Amino acid sequence: MRIVMIGAGNLATNLGKALQNAGHDIVQVYSRTWEHAQQLATIIGGAATDDLDSIVDTADVYIFSLKDSALGDVVPKVSKGKAEKLMIHTAGSMPMSCFEGMAVHYGVLYPMQTFSKQREVDFRSIPCFIEGNDSLAKQNIRALAESISGRVYEMSSDDRRFLHLAAVWACNFTNHCYEVSAEILRKHDVPFDVMLPLIDETAAKVHGMEPIDAQTGPAVRFDDNVIRAQAAMMRDNPILKDLYERMSMSIHLAAQKHSKE
């Protein structure tokens, strides 16, 4: 398929590479920052542009990989004069209906993964969740998704909101916990890489166990002495202290509930 990429960030970069490797023709890359558009276009092909009015009308598919807040402004401008083209966004939380009234065929291709420009990923293993407003959109979005991933699932906009919420807990919040850990260690001149075996084993366990069964630590048994002492160690950061105490209570309550089931 002939594709225009709208966006040149982390997701767009990895998705663009996967699409190009699958044999699709990237005809244009848009970013509001010219340098970013040019960088991605150099990698995956196509012409770079930072002008929405100069986006070509010769592509089959227009893929929007932008901040959620930008879709409302960008979609009408790109869709103008291209009503029969297939419009797709890649957001986890945005409904498919953001294209309604501006395109005939539209939908979603949401790759559920964390992306960084500097890290290569194996797209074949990434779950891709798709949705289309009509049979033609569904058919073409599925074909596009299956050309890059071996794990393609149909999912409604409403269900995808909860999928994205679960992903925020499993990825974004977890990564923030890594940063908190790293900051504590930095203050005491301990390298963060001492945590990597622990992190790797924690992640590996949930490949074969339910997360609730893999949980360990003082909060499971609510070791009050340890919890109070560790919370006091964070008195200089009230937000983290509160987060520690609330997370500990949440872990303990979940363990109690599980033990009764």
Task: Tell me what pLDDT residue 222 has.
Answer: 87
Give per-residue pLDDT as tens, 105-144: 999 999 999 999 989 899 999 999 999 999 999 999 999 9
For residues 165-179, average pLDDT: 96
Say how far apart CA 107 and CA 130 lie, in whole Å: 7
Please count the other Cβ atoms lying within 10 Å of the Cβ belonging to residue 73: 10
Local confidence band at 83 (pLDDT 50, 70, 90 cut-offs)? confident
Q: What percent of the chain has pLDDT over 90?
A: 92
Task: Tell me what pLDDT residue 221 has.
Answer: 86
Q: pTM for the full model?
A: 0.89
245 has pLDDT over 90: yes
For residues 21-43, average pLDDT: 96
Give per-residue pLDDT as tens, 199-221: 999 999 999 999 999 999 999 98
Task: Tell me what pLDDT residue 260 has.
Answer: 83
Site of tokens 């109690």:
256
On average, the pLDDT of the chain sits at: 95
For residues 151-160, average pLDDT: 96
Question: What are the structure tokens assigned to 6, written together?
Answer: 């709208």
Local confidence band at 259 (pLDDT 50, 70, 90 cut-offs)? confident
Say how far apart CA 11 and CA 96 lie, in whole Å: 18
Contact 192, 185 (CB under 8 A): yes
Which among 140, 150, 91, 145 has a CA at the least distance from the CA of 115? 91
Local confidence band at 196 (pLDDT 50, 70, 90 cut-offs)? very high
Helix axes 10-21, 34-44, angle to 10 degrees: 20
Give per-residue pLDDT as tens, 43-64: 999 999 999 999 999 999 999 9
77 has pLDDT over 90: yes
Task: Tell me what pLDDT residue 261 has.
Answer: 78
Local confidence band at 99 (pLDDT 50, 70, 90 cut-offs)? very high
Question: What are the structure tokens assigned to 65, written together?
Answer: 């990989």
